[in-house]
């Protein structure tokens, strides 16, 4: 039963934290130097974000385990989760503002202080500003760490499809963004970190110049498209600079006792090993392999209807299912959560026309609302988790107060 109340989000904690130590993945480069043959066993790493203040009551550090991040301990933190964005930068910004983590003054300043933000993947495809969103999230993460917060991303099926070279859902404008980004990267001498962080601002200048150009209204021609396809292939092939950027992120992430993934986690995924899956997907995206035939696609995570990024078992409409089938799904979910020692799971992937919602005694939260203009163009909504309790946050329009839907 959902109860609706109208209020503004409470202010996040005000203590300022800085990053104390980090064992994060090295920044990708467009042409990675030859690496030693990687081990098939993931090597755990951990990093912490701790307080620079000795004030009483400071929160304990955020501790991140796994490479890419897999298990996160974030004591006392507010957690917000945002679903599929599909290349819509304006809607992405709106969602982050609703979540209380991004300024609305056009400066893209982190306002979440010690908040932990989790974005559930599918940034790529169906929209024109994919790299700009990735750049924005990286900038937000850098700022968040200075405040004692953090930003985590999950890779979805559209990220893995693009690394495989499946460009069926790519918009013409996204191909053009790839071509322009590759040219822009060249002007930086392929200094990835600085160039990537600056792209979100640079891309808006480029879009504006494009609109005022007399060639803007020219029809999309074959030469432009070929250049865009080539650029996208260079950026996103296994080992490409953008694929290496995606490789920094997991397909399954556990923050405190909440599990986040794009499609859905199943018992056989847990048995296979969450950290192992994340490691294998990351290695594949980086182009690392023990085989001369190239990196092996990690099927259990990225291929098939029951893979982590493709499963719709928990997010599908069950109105046409018989009761026994619904009970089976709930049992599978309970078994999975017990195996991974979590209280609930958060998924995206399947647009929810009713908005953010929960099912199966609120042990599964479905937060893909189809906000991108390339999907449903629906109003953005986010999930907020405070002290283990979750609620949906939305705004009727940009001038209205936030609406908070509590589930009991």
How far apart are alpha carbons 114 and 148 in whole angstroms?
A: 5
Closest of 151, 166, 157, 126 to residue 371, by C-alpha: 126
196 Cβ contact list (under 8 Å, min separation 6) = 134, 135, 138, 245
Indicate if the alpha-carbon torsion angle 364, 319, 86, 406 is positive or negative: negative
d(CA 81, CA 347) in angstroms, rounded, equals: 10
Examine residue 133 and say whether the peptide bond preceding it is cis (omega within 30 degrees of 0): no
How many CB atoms are closer than 10 A to CB 32?
A: 15
The CA distance from 81 to 79, in Å, is 7
The angle, 0 to 180 degrees and rounded to 10, between the axes of the packed helices 130-147 and 172-187 is 60
SS3 for 298? coil
Of 158, 262, 269, 349, which is the active-site residue?
A: 158
Active site residue 158: yes
Burial state string for 41-78 with b = 16 or more CB within 10 A and e = fewer than 16 = ebeeebbebbbeeeeeebbebbebbbbbbbbbbbeebb
Dihedral angle at the C-alpha atoms of 357, 360, 365, 368, nearest 10 degrees?
-60
Could you report how far apart the first and last alpha carbons of the chain are, in Å? 6
Q: How far is 260 from 324, CA to CA, in rounded Å? A: 26
For the sheet with 17-21, list strands across it: 17-21, 46-51, 62-65, 71-73, 252-255, 258-261, 344-347, 364-366, 357-359
Distance CA 204, CA 213 (A): 14
Cα 156 to Cα 86: distance, rounded to the nearest angstrom: 11
Catalytic residue numbers read 158
């Amino acid at each position: 039963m959902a109860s609706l109340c109208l209020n503004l989000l409470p202010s996040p904690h005000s203590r300022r934290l800085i990053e104390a130590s980090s064992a994060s993945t090295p920044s990708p480069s467009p042409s990675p130097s030859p690496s030693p043959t990687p081990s098939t066993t993931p090597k755990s790493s951990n990093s912490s974000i701790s307080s620079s203040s000795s004030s009483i009551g400071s929160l304990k550090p955020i501790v991140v385990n796994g490479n890419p991040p897999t298990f996160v301990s974030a004591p006392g933190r507010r957690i917000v989760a945002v679903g599929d964005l599909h290349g819509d930068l304006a809607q992405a910004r709106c969602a982050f503002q609703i979540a209380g983590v991004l300024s609305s003054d056009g400066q893209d300043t982190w306002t979440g202080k010690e908040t932990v933000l989790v974005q559930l993947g599918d940034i790529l495809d169906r929209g024109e500003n994919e790299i700009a969103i990735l750049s924005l999230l990286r900038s937000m993460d850098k700022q968040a760490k200075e405040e004692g917060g953090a930003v985590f991303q999950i890779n979805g099926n559209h990220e893995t499809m693009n690394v495989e070279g499946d460009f069926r859902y790519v918009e013409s404008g996204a191909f053009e963004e790839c071509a322009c980004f590759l040219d822009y990267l060249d002007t930086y001498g392929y200094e990835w970190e600085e160039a990537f962080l600056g792209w979100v601002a640079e891309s808006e200048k480029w879009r504006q110049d494009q609109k005022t150009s007399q060639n803007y209204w020219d029809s999309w021609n074959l030469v432009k498209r070929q250049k865009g396809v080539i650029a996208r292939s260079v950026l996103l092939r296994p080992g490409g600079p953008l694929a290496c950027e995606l490789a920094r992120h997991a397909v399954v992430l556990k923050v405190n006792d909440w599990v986040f993934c794009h499609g859905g986690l199943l018992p056989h995924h847990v048995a296979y090993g969450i950290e192992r899956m994340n490691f294998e997907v990351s290695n594949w995206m980086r182009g690392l392999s023990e085989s001369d035939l190239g990196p092996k696609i990690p099927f259990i995570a990225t291929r098939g209807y029951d893979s982590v990024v493709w499963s719709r078992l928990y997010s599908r409409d069950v109105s046409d299912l018989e009761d026994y089938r619904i009970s089976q799904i709930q049992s599978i979910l309970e078994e999975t959560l017990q195996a991974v020692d979590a209280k609930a799971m958060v998924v995206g992937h399947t647009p929810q026309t009713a908005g953010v919602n929960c099912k199966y005694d609120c042990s599964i939260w479905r937060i893909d609302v189809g906000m991108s203009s390339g999907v449903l163009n629906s109003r953005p909504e986010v999930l907020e988790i405070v002290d283990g309790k979750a609620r949906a946050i939305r705004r009727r329009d940009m001038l209205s107060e936030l609406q908070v839907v509590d589930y009991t």
